Amino acid sequence: VDGIIEEGIDYCGFIFIGLIKVGDEPYVIEYNVRMGDPETEAVLPRIDSDFVQLMKHTATGKLDEIDLEIDHRVATTVMMVSEGYPEDYEKGKIITGTDEIVNEIVFHAGTKMEGADTVTNGGRVIAVTAMRDTMQEALTAVYKAVDKIEFEGKYVRRDIGRDLA
């Protein structure tokens, strides 16, 4: 941000700062001028404001004229990937269980329809987001939801957020 100011750049858009916890200290591991996976799936559901209006006000330089309303709950997101990702992985595996998810948000990433079936079509297959009052409640909910969704070769990291709960 200081560099943008020092260079006199008229920047309009996202700046996402990815952090990692090392011991008890946060460290920046990346920063992007875009939203990516799985950050988007954890950030956007917490925005209660009209997102289109936020983008419109950002684009027209009037962001200071609109209130940003944020949901107080914690959001956790777990990405479900195909076995072998990010290297070689098979596609076309039938996905079941998404219809059993009621209170969480299921984001399709690498999926497609084949007839009446939803099948895998990429390495990052589905992201699931849960929102609850505490980190532990959100983590418990997201992993329960992820466990309901099945496809051959499903891989899920089980350590997401465990250092924070």
105-138 pLDDT per residue, tens: 999 999 999 999 999 999 999 999 999 999 999 9
Q: What is the pLDDT of residues 46-105, one digit of tens each?
A: 999 999 999 999 999 899 999 999 999 999 999 999 999 999 999 999 999 999 999 999
Name all contacts of 112-119 with Cβ < 8 Å and 24+ positions apart: 118/94, 119/91, 119/92, 119/93, 119/94, 119/95, 119/151
pTM of the model: 0.88
Give 73: exposed, middle or buried? Use CB within 10 Å, 0-12, 13-18, 19+.
middle
